[in-house]
C-alpha cells in the first residue's frame, strides 16, 4: 500500500468516527437534567452528529422512563378476550377477526383473567377431524399482572426476564383496566410497527358499541369519514380525522379526553405521546342522553 492510499484511509477513519463517539464528545459538559440533555441532543442533530432517526430513538428511550402502563394500554373496552367455557370452534371467530396472536382468557367475569392463550397453540387441535377433545385451561400460559402505575422501562425489563409478551393491567381494585404488549412498549422507542395483519386491514371503521359509539382509526381519511358519518368536514387543512381532532384540542390528547366538533362527540380511546390512534365517535344527541341518564 503506498503512502497516498494510507493517508486516504486514515483520513476516512478519522472523519467517519462512530456517531456514538462524536455524541460522547458533544455531551462532555454533563447536562444537569433531562431538559438540558434533550437540548444537547437536538443540537447534536443540527451539527450532523445524530440523524433524525437516531435522535427520535434516544428521545423515545428517555420518554419510556417517564411513561406508565396506563399511558399506552389498550383500554378494557377494546380488549379482545376469550371465555374459558368456549368450545374450540367458538374461539375461532374472535381469533380470525382480530388477527391477534395472544388473548386473555376469562373465567366468571371480564375481571377474572385466568391465563393467556397463544393462538398457534390451537393448531394441533384444528388438524384433527370431528370435534377434538379440548380443554382450554390446559393450553393457557400464566398471565402477567401489573398495576396501571408500572413504569414502561421497568415493564420492558420484566417482559425480558419473564419471557412474556403481554401484561394484564389491573386497577386499584384488582379489576381489569386493559392490556399492554411488548410491542406497545417498543413502539414508544422506534415508532409504529405494522405487522402483516395491520397492512391488510384497510377498514378504518372498526366496530359499533352498544352505547351508540363507533370506534374509528384516527388515520381515517376525512373524505371516507364524511361518507360514513354523513358529515362535511373539510380536508383542505387536514387529511385524517385524527389530525382534525388533535387540532381542536391544540395538543396531542391523552386517552379519555373528549371534544365536540360539529354534531359529533369525539373521545380518545387510544393515543401515545405523538399521535391519536383510535377515536370513539357518537352524535351529540346520544351523548347528552347518556349524561342525563347518569
One DSSP character per residue, 71-105 reads: HHPEEGGG---EETT--HHHHHHHHHHH--SEEEE
Query: What's the pLDDT score for residue 47?
Result: 76
Label residues 96-107 b or e (16+ Cβ within 10 Å = b): eeeeeebbbbbe
Query: What's the pLDDT score for residue 196?
Result: 44
Residue 221 lies in a domain: yes
Q: Are residues 86 and 161 in the same domain?
A: yes
Q: Say which CATH number the domain at 261 has.
A: 3.30.465.10
Q: Are residues 75 and 167 in the same domain?
A: yes
pLDDT per residue over 227-251, tens digit each? 999 999 998 888 889 999 999 998 8
Domain that holds residue 209: 202-293
For the chain, the average pLDDT equals: 79
Q: Are residues 91 and 182 in the same domain?
A: yes
Residue 60 lies in a domain: no
> Cα-atom radius of gyration of the chain, to the nearest Å?
24
Q: Are residues 141 and 179 in the same domain?
A: yes
Number of domains in the chain: 3
pTM metric for this prediction:
0.56
Q: Are residues 277 and 208 in the same domain?
A: yes
Q: Are residues 171 and 281 in the same domain?
A: no
Percent over 70 (pLDDT), the chain: 77
Q: How many helices (H) and strands (E) does the chain have?
A: 14, 12
Amino acid at each position: 500500500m503506498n503512502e497516498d492510499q494510507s493517508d486516504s484511509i486514515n483520513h476516512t477513519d478519522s472523519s467517519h468516527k462512530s456517531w456514538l463517539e462524536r455524541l460522547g464528545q458533544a455531551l462532555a459538559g454533563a447536562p444537569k437534567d433531562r431538559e438540558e440533555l434533550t437540548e444537547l441532543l437536538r443540537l447534536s442533530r443540527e451539527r450532523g452528529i445524530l440523524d433524525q432517526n437516531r435522535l427520535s430513538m434516544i428521545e423515545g428511550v428517555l420518554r419510556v422512563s417517564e411513561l406508565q402502563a396506563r399511558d399506552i394500554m389498550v383500554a378494557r373496552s377494546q380488549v379482545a378476550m376469550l371465555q374459558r367455557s368456549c368450545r374450540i370452534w367458538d374461539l375461532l371467530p374472535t381469533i380470525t377477526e382480530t388477527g391477534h396472536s395472544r388473548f386473555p382468557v376469562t373465567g366468571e367475569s371480564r375481571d377474572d383473567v385466568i391465563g393467556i392463550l397463544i393462538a398457534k397453540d390451537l393448531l394441533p387441535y384444528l388438524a384433527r377431524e370431528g370435534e377434538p377433545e379440548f380443554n382450554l385451561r390446559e393450553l393457557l400460559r400464566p398471565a402477567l399482572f401489573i398495576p396501571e402505575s408500572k413504569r414502561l422501562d421497568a415493564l420492558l425489563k420484566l417482559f425480558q426476564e419473564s419471557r412474556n409478551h403481554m401484561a394484564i393491567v389491573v386497577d386499584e381494585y384488582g379489576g381489569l383496566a386493559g392490556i399492554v404488549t411488548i410491542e406497545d412498549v417498543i413502539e414508544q422507542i422506534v415508532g409504529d410497527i405494522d405487522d402483516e395483519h395491520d397492512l391488510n386491514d384497510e377498514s378504518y371503521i372498526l366496530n359499533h358499541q352498544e352505547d351508540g359509539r363507533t370506534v374509528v382509526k384516527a388515520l381515517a381519511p376525512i373524505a371516507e369519514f364524511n361518507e360514513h358519518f354523513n358529515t362535511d368536514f373539510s380536508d383542505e387543512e387536514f387529511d385524517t380525522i385524527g389530525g382534525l381532532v388533535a387540532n381542536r384540542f391544540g395538543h396531542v390528547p391523552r386517552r379519555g379526553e373528549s371534544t365536540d366538533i360539529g354534531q359529533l362527540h369525539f373521545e380518545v380511546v387510544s393515543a401515545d405521546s405523538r399521535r391519536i390512534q383510535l377515536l370513539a365517535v357518537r352524535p351529540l344527541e346520544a351523548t347528552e342522553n347518556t349524561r342525563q341518564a347518569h
